[in-house]
């Protein structure tokens, strides 16, 4: 930018001097100065552009490999590797990052760019692989992608989330652990105020499910279905208190 300013304004100086010296017969000297003032900035800009292009080419070559990225400062190195992984759509490059948080960002970046589920298989760390399948299941609205998730809690949450969002209770049946499956049914029953479904649950989920629906609907008759007397009285008392207010 400053080089172009020089190119624009520098010739003005000898031109003014030339006008001033017109009556002194020194046209040749000032003409030479005028030519020099035009040529020099052009040469200067050319040299600066060559240097800049050389530096850009060197940086691009440096950042085209993981080894080159690692020669940069720490934060710049992280960003360099993340960009390289995204550009090449190669999730395995992210594993060269030691920092867990930055590695997670790298995986996320590749997943955003890639529409392929297979990219999840290439992730070595189980936590990030599970997160990959979870993310892909949500973006593709495909609950079958919950199945490869190793972490039981994440897998259960994945199936439960789809059961609720798709209003499909049968998805809960994909949950192997009995307690976790009951939890999915519980969430479904409460969300859709299904009293009969609550009654298929074992205690204490049975009473908790009915209590939630009763309070949401302000319906004491649902409290009456509860088995635990203390919880039943608490449910009725809470509804009466809310009605009085």
Ranges 42-51, 84-93, 112-121, 125-134: which has the least confidence: 42-51
Give the whole-angstrom CA distance, residue 48 versus residue 40.
12
User: How far is C-alpha 90 from the geometric centre of its chain's CA atoms?
Assistant: 17
Ranges 40-44, 147-151, 174-178, 188-192: which has the least confidence: 40-44
pLDDT digits (tens, 9 = 90+) for 164-188: 999 999 999 999 999 999 999 999 9
For residue 202, what is the DSSP state? P
Both structure tokens of 79: 């960003």
Both structure tokens of 220: 């004491």
User: Does residue 18 contact residue 34 with C-beta atoms inside 8 Å?
Assistant: yes
* Residue 138: Cβ-neighbour burial (10 angstroms; 0-12, 13-18, 19+): middle
- Cα radius of gyration rounded to whole Å, the chain: 36
b/e per residue 210-232 (b: at least 16 CB within 10 A): bbbbbeeeebbebbebbeeeebb
Cβ of 193: how many Cβ atoms within 10 Å? 15
């Amino acid at each position: 930018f400053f080089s172009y300013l020089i190119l624009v304004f520098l010739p003005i100086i000898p031109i003014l001097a030339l006008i001033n010296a017109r009556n002194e017969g020194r046209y040749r000297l000032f003409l030479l100065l005028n030519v020099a003032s035009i040529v020099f900035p052009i040469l200067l800009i050319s040299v600066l552009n060559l240097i800049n292009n050389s530096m850009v080419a060197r940086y691009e070559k440096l950042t085209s490999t993981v080894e080159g990225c690692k020669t940069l400062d720490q934060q710049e190195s992280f960003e360099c590797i993340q960009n390289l992984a995204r550009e090449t759509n190669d999730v395995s490059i992210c594993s060269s990052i030691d920092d867990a948080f930055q590695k997670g960002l790298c995986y996320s970046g590749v997943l955003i760019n890639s529409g392929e589920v297979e990219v999840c298989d290439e992730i070595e760390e189980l936590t990030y692989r599970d997160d990959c399948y979870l993310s892909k299941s949500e973006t593709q609205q495909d609950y079958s992608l919950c199945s490869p998730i190793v972490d039981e809690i994440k897998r259960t949450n994945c199936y439960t989330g789809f059961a609720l969002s798709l209003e499909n209770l049968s998805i809960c049946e994909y949950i192997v652990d009995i307690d976790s499956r009951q939890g999915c049914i519980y969430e479904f029953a409460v969300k859709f105020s299904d009293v009969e479904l609550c009654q298929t649950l074992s205690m204490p989920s049975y009473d908790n499910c009915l209590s939630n629906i009763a309070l949401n609907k302000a319906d004491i008759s649902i409290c009456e279905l509860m088995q635990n007397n203390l919880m039943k009285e608490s449910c009725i008392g809470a509804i009466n208190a809310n009605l009085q207010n």
